[in-house]
Structure 1
Amino acid sequence: MPYVNVNDISLYYRIDGAQRADAPWLVLSNALGTDVALWSPQIDTLLRTFRVLRYDTRGLGRSSAPAGPYTIEQLSADVLALLDALGIERVHFCGVSLGGATGMALAARHGERIDRLISVSAPPRNPTSAEIWAERMKQARGGGMPALADAVIARWFSAAFVAREPLVCAAIRDMIRHTDPEGYAGNCAAVASTDLTAELVRIEAPTLILTGTHDAAIAPEAGRALAASIAGARHVELDALHLPNVEQADAFTRAVLNFLNEPRPAASGG
C-alpha cells in the first residue's frame, strides 16, 4: 500500500487517473471520520481528466493516529509534506467538511501551491460549541464510536436518502464506526479550534464554495457569505445535507468539473 512518512506519521494515499504528464493534479480531502473511499462516487469521472490524489487525514483511515489534539495547521502541513514527498508542486484542491477547512487554510497560507479551490460544507469557523465537541471526544475515547456513527449519519444525510440508499449509508457508518477513537478525537479538536475568518481575504485561487440546502453546519446563506468573503469566489447550493458529493453525486460531480474546466480569465493588458 502507498504510504509516506511525513511529520512523524505514516500517511496513506492513493493516486488514480490520467497518465499524461501534463494532466493537472486534483487532491481530494475527506470529512471527519472518513477515508479515501468517501470519493468513490466521483473517482471514475474525475480520473479521466485529472491525476487524482486522495489521502487519509492523520488519525483517519489507514493513516497514523497519534495522540491529539490536532490542529488545522498540522493537517495542512501534512498535505504540503505529502505533495513534497511526491514531487507535486501545484494542485487543484477539493475538500469536504474537515477537508474543506484544510483546503481554505492551504489556499490562504500557501497559495502558491493551490491552483483552484473547492470547499464543500466547510464553515471557516467552527459553528458548534466547544462543550459539544468535548463530549464527542469523550464519547469516542470511551468506546462510543458506534453511537457516534449513527448520529453522524442522521446529521449528514436526509431521511429520504438513508431510506433510498441504505447500502451507501451502511458503508459510511461502518467507516466511521471503525475510525481510531484517538484519531477521531484529535480531529474533533482540530475542527473545534479552527477559525479562518480573518484569513479568507488572503485566498487568491479561483474558489468554489459548495453547500447543501439543509446542512446544519453551514446553511446556504452562510455559504454565500463565505463566497463573498473570498475575492471572485462563487457559491453553488445542492439539495443535500452535509455530504452533497454522496447525496447528490451526479450534480456535485458536474459542478466540480464545470468549475475546474473553466478557462482562466484573460489577463488584463496595459
Structure 2
Amino acid sequence: MDPSLRISLLGELAVTRNGTPVALPASRKARAVLGYLVATARPVRRERLCELFWDLPDDPRGSLRWALSKLRPAVDGTEEAHIVADRERVAFSGGATEVDLLAIRARLLDEPPFLPPEDLREMAAQLEQPLLDGLAQAGAEDFQLWLASEREDALLLRRNVLRRLALHPEIGRAEAVKWARRWKEQTPLEEDAARSLVQALAQTGREDEARQHESDFFAAAKAAGLSVSGPLMPEASVASGETAHHSRPVEARPRRLLRKQQIGFCRSSDGVRIAHASIGDGPPLVKAANWLNHLELDCNSPIWGPTFDAWAMDRRFIRYDERGNGLSDWDVKDITFEAFVRDLETVVDALGLERFPLLGISQGCAVSVAYAARHPERVSGLILVAGYATGWRIGASAEEQARREAVLTLTRHGWGTSNPAYRHIFSQTFMPDARPEDLEWFDEFQRLTVSPENAVRFQVAFGTIDVREDLPKIQVPTIVFHARDDERIALDQGRALAAGIPGAEFVVLDSKNHILLGHEPAWHACMNKAKAFLAHHNL
C-alpha cells in the first residue's frame, strides 16, 4: 500500500509523493500512457497500448517498453511497484494511491444525502479542469476517442456536483444562485436546472430576473420540442413572502430516482468487469443489455429516460452494460452471444437475486430467452420488446446479408470519426420517427458508448444469434411486443418469437420505431400493457 502517492488526472497530469511534486517524463506519450492506465484501472494488452499510442510501422513494443522504463521511477514506491507488467498486459496497481477523478467518482456514487459543501466546492473546482489537459494529441485516433469519452463522463460528474451545490440545504441563498446558474449553463434544456435557478433567484428577491429566466426557458424548450411539467416558479412561492425564502428548489421525482441509481461492478467467469445499476424501490425487474448501453449517459437521455423513469417508479429496476461498451470493460477477447448470456448470469448472481421477471429489448430478448431456458427456477416472467430468435446471418436473403455487410464496412472505417453520418445509419433505422434532436443525441451517444472495433464485433455477434431451440423450453408468463412497421427488425420476426414460446401473448404496436420513444402513443400502450401483465401474474 502506498498512501503517500497522489495522482491528479484533472488538469495537467501530476504526481506527488508526501506532498512533493514528482518529475514526470518529458515525453507526452509516456505521460499519456500513465494517465490511461491510471484512469482505466485495469490490465491492458500491450498490443492495445501500442495501437493507442504508437501507430507506426517501426518498433511499437520497444517504444512502450521505453515509456514504462521512464514511468517506473516516477511512480513506483520503495516497497511497491505500481507499474505492473508481464509479457501480455500492463496495469497500474494503485493500492491506496489517491487519484482525484476516481476519488470524486467514488464519493458521488456512494450517494450520501448531502456531502459537506466544502467538499463539493473543491470537487467543482477540480472538475473545471480538462481531464489530462494537453495530452489529447499524444496518441492515435482511438486514444483521442477514449479521452473524449472520458471527458464527457467528467462533465457529467461536474453537473452532478453543481446540482448538489445548487440544492444543498446548507448553502446560502446568494451562493445557491451561483451554483444553480452554472448548473443551468451546463444543461440549458434540463427542467430541474432551470427550476433551481428560477427558484434561487426568487428566494433572493430577484423576482423579475427569475420570471425572465422562466420565460426564456419555456421558449427554448418549446423550440426544441420538449414538454415542461409545470411552472418553474409557482405563484405561491413569490406571493407567500418570507415563507418562500426558506424553501429549497425541488427536483421532479423521476429525476431524483435516476440520480439515486446505485452503480456497482462484478466480474464474469472470464475476468471481464461488468457494470450494473439499480434504480428505485420495490420488486426487482432486470433488463437484459441491448445495443448500446452506458449506465451514466443513458439514464437521463431523451431516448431511454422516460422508460427508465416509468419502471423505477414502482420497481427496483436493474440494468447493466454488457461487455465491450459503456462502463464495462471494452478491451475483451470474447464478444459473442454466449458471453452476453454469461454477463446477465454474472450480474443477477452478484446481486443475489433469487427470482425475477426479465425485460428484453432487441437482441436482449434472445439473451433473456436463453437465460430463462437455462435457469427456469430464477425467471418468473418475460417482457420482450422488438426482439428476434435468429440473427441476420440466419435465413436472411442475399440482398439483406449484402446490406448488412456494407454497414459493417462503413462501421469499420467511420464509426469513431467526428462525422455522425456513419452512426446515423443506425439511428434512422432504430427510430425513423424520432425528433432531429433525439437522433443527434443518439448519434453522439453511440460514439461515446463503444469503440469502432467493438461496434463491428457486436454486429457480427448479433448476426449469429439463434435461440429457436430454447423457445419451447420457456414455461413462464411471456408477453411479446413489436412495432408494426419496425424498420430494424421485421414484424414477422417478432411474431415468430412469440409463436415459439408456449402461451406467449403477442401485442402489435402502431409505430415505426425499433426503440419506442416516450412521446409516442405506442410507448404508452406498451408500458401500460406491460405493467398490467406484471400485476396480473403477480410478478
Q: TM-score, normalised by structure 1?
A: 0.85
Is 2:387–2:493's contact at 8 Å kept on the other side of the alignment? Answer: no
Residue equivalent to 1:243? 515
Alignment of 1:50-129 (within 5 A): 50-67=315-332, 70-127=335-392
Residue equivalent to 2:423? 149
Spell out, residue by residue over 1:59-79, the C-alpha distance to the aligned partner (whole angstroms, 9 max, x if none).
122211234562211101111
Shift of 1:44: 2.2
Q: Using a 3 Å threshold, how does the CA distance of structure 1 residues 251 and 148 change in structure 2: closer, same or farther?
A: farther
Decide which of 439, 447, 466 is 1:177's aligned counterpart. Answer: 447
Shift of 1:118: 1.3
Spell out, residue by residue over 1:93-132, the C-alpha distance to the aligned partner (whole angstroms, 9 max, x if none).
1121121221111122222221111111111001355554
Shift of 1:86: 1.4
Count the aligned residue pairs: 257
Letter in 1 for 2:421: A
> Gaps spanning 5+ residues in structure 2: where?
1-262
Q: TM-score, normalised by structure 2?
A: 0.45
Is 2:274–2:320's contact at 8 Å kept on the other side of the alignment? Answer: yes
Bigger mean CA deviation after superposition, 72-81 or 100-109: 100-109
CA distance in 1, matches of 2:444, 2:361: 19
Is 1:120–1:209's contact at 8 Å kept on the other side of the alignment? Answer: yes
Residue equivalent to 1:10? 273
What SS does the aligned partner of 1:208 have? strand
Asked if residue 24 in structure 1 is aligned to residue 283 in structure 2, the reply is yes
Q: Using a 3 Å threshold, how does the CA distance of structure 1 residues 30 and 245 change in structure 2: closer, same or farther?
A: farther
Letter in 1 for 2:366: A
Higher RCO by CA contacts (8 Å cutoff, separation 6 or greater): 1
What SS does the aligned partner of 2:445 have? helix
Alignment of 1:38-57 (within 5 A): 39-57=304-322
CA distance in 1, matches of 2:284, 2:304: 15
> Gaps spanning 5+ residues in structure 1: where?
266-270
What SS does the aligned partner of 2:360 have? strand
Decide which of 203, 217, 223 is 2:474's aligned counterpart. Answer: 203
Shift of 1:227: 1.3
Is 2:336–2:461's contact at 8 Å kept on the other side of the alignment? Answer: yes
Residue equivalent to 2:294? 35
Residue equivalent to 1:268? none
Q: Using a 3 Å threshold, how does the CA distance of structure 1 residues 124 and 148 change in structure 2: closer, same or farther?
A: farther
Residue equivalent to 2:487? 216
Asked if residue 255 in structure 1 is aligned to residue 520 in structure 2, the reply is no
What SS does the aligned partner of 1:112 have? coil
Q: Using a 3 Å threshold, how does the CA distance of structure 1 residues 98 and 222 change in structure 2: closer, same or farther?
A: closer
CA distance in 2, matches of 1:131, 1:109: 34
Letter in 2 for 1:48: M
What SS does the aligned partner of 1:94 have? strand
Question: Kindly, what percent of the aligned residue pairs are identical?
Answer: 28
Letter in 1 for 2:444: D
Q: Using a 3 Å threshold, how does the CA distance of structure 1 residues 131 and 68 change in structure 2: closer, same or farther?
A: farther
What SS does the aligned partner of 1:64 have? coil
Runs of 4 or more consecutive aligned structure 1 residues displaced over 6 Å after TM superposition = none
Decide which of 486, 492, 496 is 1:225's aligned counterpart. Answer: 496
Q: CA RMSD in A?
A: 2.4
In our comparison, the structure showing a higher alpha carbon Rg is 2
What SS does the aligned partner of 1:185 have? helix
Spell out, residue by residue over 1:214-252, the C-alpha distance to the aligned partner (whole angstroms, 9 max, x if none).
113433344233212111101111122211255543222
Bigger mean CA deviation after superposition, 95-104 or 124-133: 124-133
Q: Using a 3 Å threshold, how does the CA distance of structure 1 residues 42 and 168 change in structure 2: closer, same or farther?
A: same
